[in-house]
A and B are shown apart, each in its own frame.
Chain A
Amino acid sequence: MTDTKSILLVGVGGQGTILAGNILSTALLEAGYDVKVSEIHGMSQRGGSVSTQIRYGKKVHSPVIGRGQSDILIAFEAMEALRYLEFLKPEGKVVVNDYKIPSAPILMGKADYPENVIEILKEKASTSVIDAAKIAQELGNMKVMNVVLLGALAKAMDLTDIDWEGVIRNTVKKEFIDINIEAFKRGRDKLALAEA
């Protein structure tokens, strides 16, 4: 097709996927790419499975991709990685948060959280695992888990030349700038170690 790259960012409603998508798309824009982002609002957000698609390149046409078309799958929740794995190119990469959120049928004891999700992902695709919850906890705010994962994504996509600090500074609330910059760095460095 083209030089256009596709990122599929998945998680559970309330995990901050939209903010992560905003920082990422702004950064890509400032790096000089054409960018398109697609999100779904409305009913599915009530604790349901959510996804953001980000595409960038010289000239992007479609804001969405189909199965087998994403260059990278970044999952804020482990089971969601498995749900969307079919959207990844067979040679694509997975960055998965080692973090489980049981869905309603699991909470009620009517379904089981799949066993060995991470192992299945590793077996099927080039997968990097990151414990973003642990890093966020160390930083003292679970809400920055999304930016930890964004740091990991930037590393995995080799988008390290971008002025991420500047973008974070302009995107998040003043009192959260420092912690988010730190979260980004920790995620980026953690993935570098995982990949080494």
Chain B
Amino acid sequence: MKKLLTGNEAVALGAYEAGVHFAAAYPGTPSTEILENIAKYEEIISEWSPNEKVAFEAALGASIAGARSLAAMKHVGLNVAADPLFTTGYTGVNGGMVLVVADDPGLHSSQNEQDNRYYAKHAKIAMLEPSNSQEAKDMVKIAFEISEKFDTLVMLRMTTRVCHSKSLVEPGERKELPLKPYVKDLTKYYVAPAVAKQLHVKVEERLKKLEDFSNETDLNYIEWNDRKIGVISSGVAYEYAREVFGQKASYLKLGFTHPLPGKKIREFAEKVEKLYVIEELEPYMEEYVRALGFDCTGKDKIPNIWELNPEIIASSLFEEETPTIQYDKSLVANRPPTLCAGCPHRGFFYGLSKRKNVMITGDIGCYTLGGADPLRAMDTTICMGASISVGHGAKKVFDRYKKDMRVVSVIGDSTFFHTGINSLLDVVYNKSNTITCILDNRVTGMTGHQDHPGTGYTLAGEETEMISIPDLVRALGIKHVRTVNPLKLDQLKEAFDWAFALDEASVIISKYPCVLKKWSKFDREEFEPLEGKCEVDVEKCIGCKMCVNTGCPALQFVKEDKKVKVDPVQCVGCELCMQVCPTEAIYKVGD
């Protein structure tokens, strides 16, 4: 029976049915659930890797060993994995290898909206683009066949609305496959310059064969309707185009989008009167269509920023406004995401926000919200791991040019393992006295609680070596290391005083589990749980707002009586508000 699955669940099912042996990923929205779902199949070796480069390389190793392998990541994760990607474009594979990449048009949960289709072109590998969950599952299976037939890495390019939309999927059976024989082949995997030189020749030959395939495959198909309008589209944009044009247009639906099918595009474009190229983000296909010599309507009308939907396509192409209800939207207050009630990061950023002459370089995770109102305790957020290295560069300049500025670099536990380690090595090696704060909430928080090398568990739920962050940073050469509970503001203040007084690099580890985390055996052994709830004594409350300025969503300043009240449903009793209240108006119940 058909099932309603997200694109990510469908990719996992496709991997299972395709007989995949090995899969690895680093979590990242909107790709995270791919590996979470693959891990449910015991037949597949499934791993969280410390970062995307490692995931990619582990999957490549599995492929060279003869396995069908898969690596999954969000779009910016491929930037981290770009180095092995380009060389794999040369080597090809042994067992089939599929790279699943999830772009995030609309930046729902990302720092940019890069269009990764250009990576496939740049790295000279094959690319498939599903439009819905059924296609996502089918294309994973086809991708492995293409990978093995043409000896190429295949990229499956998804987008947020394919990953996180549910549509009907017909499940099938798993086909168990034996490993391909492992053969030592220096001319293929030993990419010394002389070898690579020859491999580049093969890459170009392979691309020609892939283009022939692109012209022949049913993954790229024409649906003839009225020939006055012809639409070339791919991915979820195709589904939007169908809503807009229905049966009033003919379609060239592209599922295999690198190399693009020049012959098929020509055949289609020549037979329609008006040609539209409808794609999300950049004019990847449109540039190709124009280079073939066809005039078309595309990014001259349809925006290349943010995600599309049928209404945006229709209104930009036909310059007609869809009728909507008119009302004063300014009445609606913002509802930005916030750190949860009881979040240990809140205590940390509250403490940090009190420091003057400080540049705070931040990183990617829930704690990025420490830069938002009301704490605003962050100056930069660039990419995974950048907090420490950006901080290092800034500090070197401040010192050389005698600027009275300290630098605090803030990074999460999972992010530190991801790409923070090299940066901290730079701090030690090139001698900047930055203060690196590792916010260790014992889990990869933002993406929904995945394990990492510091949690003591693998993706499969097996116990494993728990990497000690203090030991690791000392091994990197940091001499000054302290661990604090960020919900104890006096402890935190003392640690900051200590670190700010040092003229050598230091690390403060702010350690307490994420308030939403289901505690592991190790957490229960190490930490005291939060208990009870906070309450406000209205007689003592002077309405100074010190507590609400921590940004806790369990606290509300009531304008009418100028007092604060606690929402007992949200409060978890972290006591941060009690510590900042100047009149001791907040007390604990159930303590």
Q: Which residues of A contact B (CB under 8 A)?
A: 1-2, 12-13, 25-26, 29, 34-49, 60-69, 79-80, 82-83, 85-90, 102-114, 120, 124-125, 142
B419 at interface by CB-CB < 8 Å:
no
User: Is there an interface contact between B108 and A106, defined as CB atoms closer than 8 Å?
Assistant: no
User: Is there an interface contact between A38 and B165, defined as CB atoms closer than 8 Å?
Assistant: yes
Q: For the A-B complex with A12-B335, A43-B109 known, give 4 more contacts whose Cβ atoms are closer than 8 Å.
A: A1-B243, A62-B309, A111-B333, A113-B333
Please tell me which one of the listed residues B325, B327, B339, B553 contacts residue A107 in the complex, with CB atoms under 8 A apart.
Answer: B553
20 residue pairs from A and B, CB less than 8 Å apart: A2-B246, A36-B166, A37-B167, A41-B29, A42-B30, A42-B447, A46-B369, A48-B336, A48-B338, A60-B167, A66-B322, A69-B310, A82-B329, A85-B325, A105-B336, A107-B555, A107-B556, A108-B551, A109-B545, A112-B333
User: Is there an interface contact between B548 and A108, defined as CB atoms closer than 8 Å?
Assistant: yes
Contacts of B555 in A (CB 8 A): 107
User: Is there an interface contact between A111 and B322, defined as CB atoms closer than 8 Å?
Assistant: no
Contacts of A47 in B (CB 8 A): 335, 337-338, 340, 553
Please tell me which one of the listed residues A42, A63, A90 contacts residue B324 in the complex, with CB atoms under 8 A apart.
Answer: A90
Please tell me which one of the listed residues A38, A39, A87, A111 contacts residue B334 in the complex, with CB atoms under 8 A apart.
Answer: A111
Q: Within the assembled complex, what's the spacing in Å between the Cα atoms of A67 and B240?
A: 14
Most buried by B among A2, A35, A69: A69
Q: Give the Cβ gap from B415 to chain A, nearest Cβ, in Å.
A: 14
B4 at interface by CB-CB < 8 Å:
yes
Tell me the nearest residue of chain B to A73, going by C-beta.
Answer: B325
User: Is there an interface contact between A63 and B236, defined as CB atoms closer than 8 Å?
Assistant: yes
In the A-B complex, the 5 residue pairs with the closest CB atoms: A66-B311, A42-B109, A42-B29, A63-B165, A103-B335
Contacts of A41 in B (CB 8 A): 29-30, 32, 108-109, 164, 448
Contacts of A39 in B (CB 8 A): 164-165
User: Is there an interface contact between A103 and B336, defined as CB atoms closer than 8 Å?
Assistant: yes
Most buried by B among A104, A105, A106, A114: A104
Q: Within the assembled complex, what's the spacing in Å between the Cα atoms of A1 and B245?
A: 9
User: Is there an interface contact between A44 and B109, defined as CB atoms closer than 8 Å?
Assistant: yes
Known contacts A41-B30, A43-B29, A104-B553, A64 near B161 by CB under 8 Å: yes
Contacts of B374 in A (CB 8 A): 108
Instruction: Find residues 237-271 in chain B having any chain A CB closer than 8 Å to their own CB.
Output: 239-240, 242-243, 246
Please tell me which one of the listed residues A40, A61, A142 contacts residue B164 in the complex, with CB atoms under 8 A apart.
Answer: A40
Q: Within the assembled complex, what's the spacing in Å between the Cα atoms of A196 and B447?
A: 45
B549 at interface by CB-CB < 8 Å:
yes
User: Is there an interface contact between B335 and A48, defined as CB atoms closer than 8 Å?
Assistant: yes
Interface class of chain B by DSSP: loop
Q: Give the Cβ gap from A21 to chain B, nearest Cβ, in Å.
A: 9
User: Is there an interface contact between B325 and A37, defined as CB atoms closer than 8 Å?
Assistant: no
Contacts of A113 in B (CB 8 A): 333
User: Is there an interface contact between B29 and A124, defined as CB atoms closer than 8 Å?
Assistant: no
Q: Give the Cβ gap from B503 to chain A, nearest Cβ, in Å.
A: 37
Q: Which residues of B contact A (CB under 8 A)?
A: 2, 4, 29-30, 32, 108-109, 132, 160-161, 164-168, 236, 239-240, 242-243, 246, 309-312, 315, 322-327, 329, 331-340, 366, 369, 373-374, 446-448, 545, 548-549, 551, 553, 555-557, 559, 569
User: Is there an interface contact between B167 and A36, defined as CB atoms closer than 8 Å?
Assistant: yes
Known contacts A29-B4, A83-B332, A124-B325, A62 near B310 by CB under 8 Å: yes
User: Is there an interface contact between A86 and B324, defined as CB atoms closer than 8 Å?
Assistant: yes
Please tell me which one of the listed residues B311, B329, B338, B559 contacts residue A46 in the complex, with CB atoms under 8 A apart.
Answer: B338
Q: Within the assembled complex, what's the spacing in Å between the Cα atoms of A61 and B249?
A: 15
Please tell me which one of the listed residues B164, B243, B549 contacts residue A62 in the complex, with CB atoms under 8 A apart.
Answer: B243
Q: Within the assembled complex, what's the spacing in Å between the Cα atoms of A40 and B164?
A: 7
User: Is there an interface contact between A25 and B332, defined as CB atoms closer than 8 Å?
Assistant: no
Q: Within the assembled complex, what's the spacing in Å between the Cα atoms of A38 and B160?
A: 9
Contacts of A1 in B (CB 8 A): 243, 246
Most buried by B among A2, A60, A107, A142: A107
User: Is there an interface contact between B311 and A120, defined as CB atoms closer than 8 Å?
Assistant: no
User: Is there an interface contact between B337 and A45, defined as CB atoms closer than 8 Å?
Assistant: yes
Please tell me which one of the listed residues B331, B551, B556 contacts residue A82 in the complex, with CB atoms under 8 A apart.
Answer: B331
Contacts of B311 in A (CB 8 A): 65-69
User: Is there an interface contact between B446 and A43, defined as CB atoms closer than 8 Å?
Assistant: yes
Q: Within the assembled complex, what's the spacing in Å between the Cα atoms of A66 and B327?
A: 17
Q: Give the Cβ gap from B168 to chain A, nearest Cβ, in Å.
A: 7
User: Is there an interface contact between B332 and A46, defined as CB atoms closer than 8 Å?
Assistant: no
User: Is there an interface contact between B323 and A38, defined as CB atoms closer than 8 Å?
Assistant: no
Known contacts A12-B335, A85-B325, A107 near B164 by CB under 8 Å: no
Q: Within the assembled complex, what's the spacing in Å between the Cα atoms of A125 and B323?
A: 13
Contacts of B337 in A (CB 8 A): 13, 43-48
User: Is there an interface contact between B109 and A62, defined as CB atoms closer than 8 Å?
Assistant: no
Contacts of B240 in A (CB 8 A): 61-62, 64
User: Is there an interface contact between A46 and B366, defined as CB atoms closer than 8 Å?
Assistant: yes
Please tell me which one of the listed residues A42, A49, A66, A90 contacts residue B309 in the complex, with CB atoms under 8 A apart.
Answer: A66
Contacts of B160 in A (CB 8 A): 40
Contacts of B165 in A (CB 8 A): 36-39, 63-64
Known contacts A43-B108, A64-B161, A120-B327, A104 near B168 by CB under 8 Å: no
Contacts of B545 in A (CB 8 A): 108-109
Contacts of B312 in A (CB 8 A): 66
Q: Within the assembled complex, what's the spacing in Å between the Cα atoms of A79 and B327?
A: 13
User: Is there an interface contact between A108 and B549, defined as CB atoms closer than 8 Å?
Assistant: yes
Q: Give the Cβ gap from B444 to chain A, nearest Cβ, in Å.
A: 12
Contacts of A82 in B (CB 8 A): 327, 329, 331-332
Q: Give the Cβ gap from B18 to chain A, nearest Cβ, in Å.
A: 24
Tell me the nearest residue of chain B to A26, going by C-beta.
Answer: B4
User: Is there an interface contact between B335 and A109, defined as CB atoms closer than 8 Å?
Assistant: no
Q: Within the assembled complex, what's the spacing in Å between the Cα atoms of A38 and B315?
A: 22
Q: Within the assembled complex, what's the spacing in Å between the Cα atoms of A65 and B165?
A: 12
User: Is there an interface contact between A104 and B551, defined as CB atoms closer than 8 Å?
Assistant: yes
